[in-house]
Amino acid sequence: MLEISVSKSFNGFKVIDKVEFKVASGEFVCVVGESGCGKTTLLRIIAGLESFEGEITYNGREINRKSIGFVFQDDRLLPWKTTIENVLFGIGIRKKIGEEDVELARRVLRDVGLRGFENHYPKELSGGMRQRVGLARAIVIQPEILLMDEPFSSLDEITREKMQEELVELWEKEKKTVIFVTHSIEEAVFLATRVVVLTPRPSRVAGEIVIDLARPRDRTSANFNRYKKEVLELLKLK
């Protein structure tokens, strides 16, 4: 169980005001809020990249940041490295890369649909493929918790929906604990087992909604749109 209770101020201006929620092991939680409400800052706090007030524990203990993988909004690939070299970059920072690491990277690349692209450079890949490399890089370190900061926001609608479907398939296979930040209500309802809605800055938890829909989810169904309306109402959007 990941337990979060945090506040954050910049130059005396409060951005996050005691945001509190819990994430069960293997759960897929989407955090939704308007632009500028502190969603990315919240992820950076959980990842240990920002100072904060409060407490974050995992299974009753201080969280070990080595157990966290992070997928950023932009892919942050190194242009001089091949796909597999980019995927292995995080492992290489921690230790000497072994043959078992290379085999794991190849397997993860297959899982994200990039078999045959191991030796391509970032400039040779589409936007969706580059995001798949970023996802593989986070997964290959075998994190217990996966943080995702609007990773599909720059993709076209067709590619974005395909990536969402592939992410759900991968999550169902790996059963990682996922916290996924988005400002898209539809994306949150499609992906999440539970949606945490944040207020405008300074952000607090406005409410939580359990998404009780079978998978694969039908974006056009009445129940799907009912959940979208519930999230919308919490966001107080008219």
The answer to whether residue 130 is domain-embedded is no
CATH number at residue 225: 3.40.50.300
The answer to whether residue 26 is domain-embedded is yes
The domain tally of the chain equals 1
Interval 3-33: pLDDT, tens: 999 999 988 889 999 999 999 999 999 999 9
Interval 129-144: pLDDT, tens: 999 999 999 999 889 9
| 175 closest CA partner among 48, 62, 55, 25 | 25
The answer to whether residue 27 is domain-embedded is yes
Residue range 169-188: mean pLDDT, rounded: 93
Q: What is the value of pTM for the model shown?
A: 0.92
The answer to whether residue 208 is domain-embedded is yes
The answer to whether residue 122 is domain-embedded is no
Interval 72-131: pLDDT, tens: 888 889 999 999 999 999 888 778 888 999 999 999 999 888 999 999 999 999 988 999
Tokens of 120: 């391509």
Query: Where does the pLDDT of residue 237 fall: very low under 50, low under 70, confident under 90, or very high at 90 and above?
Result: low
The secondary structure of the chain in percent helix, strand, coil, rounded to multiples of 5, reads 40, 25, 35
Has residue 236 got a pLDDT over 90? no
Q: Within 13 A of 49's CA, how many CA atoms are on the CB side? A: 11
Expressed as residue numbers, the domain containing 10 is: 2-76+143-235
The answer to whether residue 231 is domain-embedded is yes
